[in-house]
């Protein structure tokens, strides 16, 4: 097991604000390895079928290509990812943040291509998920490119993790990204150097601006939650688009009953 060293202040910050920055979770050499794999996904050298979709469908201008590329479960296609440093270290940190019973629920890639200019609308991840009895969760958002306000770094609403889930609706196309009412005035942006990451909770309101720059904004995201809750999801056939990322629903509404 990886050794990590979060301070009591870092853990308290995560609990109070709903997010935390962790610098240099991977080294410069490792960044290059991850980028090579990521580019094979983007170029479709690694084919991902229905696991690839446009998170910005109906939100951006492009009809011909993805406005925001989302690829679910990259570790299903490149199994080595599971034992590589990012997955190992992020798991260890998530156990410090949410408990020793945390396991990886799913992983995903979200790229904003140069000048794709498409926001990821404000949302809380819980709105995408089953209404789980144990809501502990940590999502790790790793920047493989420097993440800036202009290329779409993450924004969070501090303390939103301690409040209710706001009502969500489809932001663009039915079946596409979800959103709720929130604004940049409530939020704080987190710019990241390459190889650094944020962790956020399932209820933390977040968003990112579109990429208005000439380079990619590649993010590699891992989600962790208690092993028992992963079992609970799978028993109900819920696997975060393992076989069909296009099947986004208002899950909290659908599964509450
Ligand atoms: O990469 C983005 O723009 C959004 C990521 C996100 O919503 C998430 O990791 O939960």
Could you give the percent of the chain with pLDDT greater than 90?
85
Nearest atom, ligand 1, residue 221 CA: 9
Residue 248 predicted with pLDDT over 60: no
Residue 254 predicted with pLDDT over 50: no
CATH number of the structural domain spanning residue 93: 2.60.120.620
Is position 26 within any domain? yes
Q: Domain range for residue 145? A: 8-256
Residues 116-123, mean pLDDT to the nearest whole number: 96
CB of 139 sitting under 6 A from ligand 1: yes
Task: Please state, as a whole number, how many other Cβ atoms lie within 10 Å of the Cβ of residue 47.
Answer: 10
CB of 141 sitting under 6 A from ligand 1: yes
DSSP track, 207-226: EE----SSS-EEEEEEEEEE
Average pLDDT, the chain: 93
Is position 25 within any domain? yes
CB of 207 sitting under 6 A from ligand 1: no
Is position 3 within any domain? no
Residue 249 predicted with pLDDT over 80: no
pLDDT single digits (tens) 181-222? 999 999 999 999 999 999 999 999 999 999 999 999 999 999
Number of domains within the chain: 1
Is position 1 within any domain? no
Could you give the percent of the chain with pLDDT greater than 70?
93
Report the range of poorest mean pLDDT among 2-11, 73-82, 104-113, 216-225.
2-11
Please report the pLDDT score of residue 125 as a whole number: 98
């Amino acid at each position: 097991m990886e050794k990590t060293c979060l301070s009591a202040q870092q853990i308290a910050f995560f609990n109070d604000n709903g997010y935390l920055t962790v610098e240099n979770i991977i080294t410069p050499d490792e960044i290059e390895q991850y980028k090579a794999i990521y580019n094979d996904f983007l170029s479709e050298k690694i084919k991902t079928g229905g696991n690839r979709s446009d998170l910005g469908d109906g939100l951006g201008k492009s009809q011909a290509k993805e406005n925001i590329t989302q690829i679910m479960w990259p570790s299903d296609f490149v199994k080595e990812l599971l034992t590589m440093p990012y997955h190992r270290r992020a798991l260890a940190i998530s156990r410090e943040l949410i408990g020793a019973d945390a396991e990886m629920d799913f992983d995903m890639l979200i790229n904003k291509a140069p000048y794709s200019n498409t926001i990821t609308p404000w949302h809380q991840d819980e709105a995408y998920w089953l209404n789980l009895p144990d809501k502990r969760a940590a999502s790790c958002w790793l920047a493989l490119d420097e993440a800036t306000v202009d290329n779409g770094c993450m924004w969070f609403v501090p303390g939103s993790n301690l409040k209710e889930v706001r009502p969500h609706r489809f932001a663009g196309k039915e079946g596409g990204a979800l959103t709720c009412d929130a604004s940049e005035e409530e939020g704080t942006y987190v710019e990241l150097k390459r190889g650094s990451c944020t962790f956020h909770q399932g209820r933390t309101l977040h968003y990112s601006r579109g990429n208005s720059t000439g380079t990619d904004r590649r993010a590699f995201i891992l989600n962790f939650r208690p092993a028992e809750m992963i079992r609970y999801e799978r028993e109900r056939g819920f696997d975060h688009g393992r076989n069909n990322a296009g099947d986004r629903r208002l899950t909290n509404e659908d599964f509450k009953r």
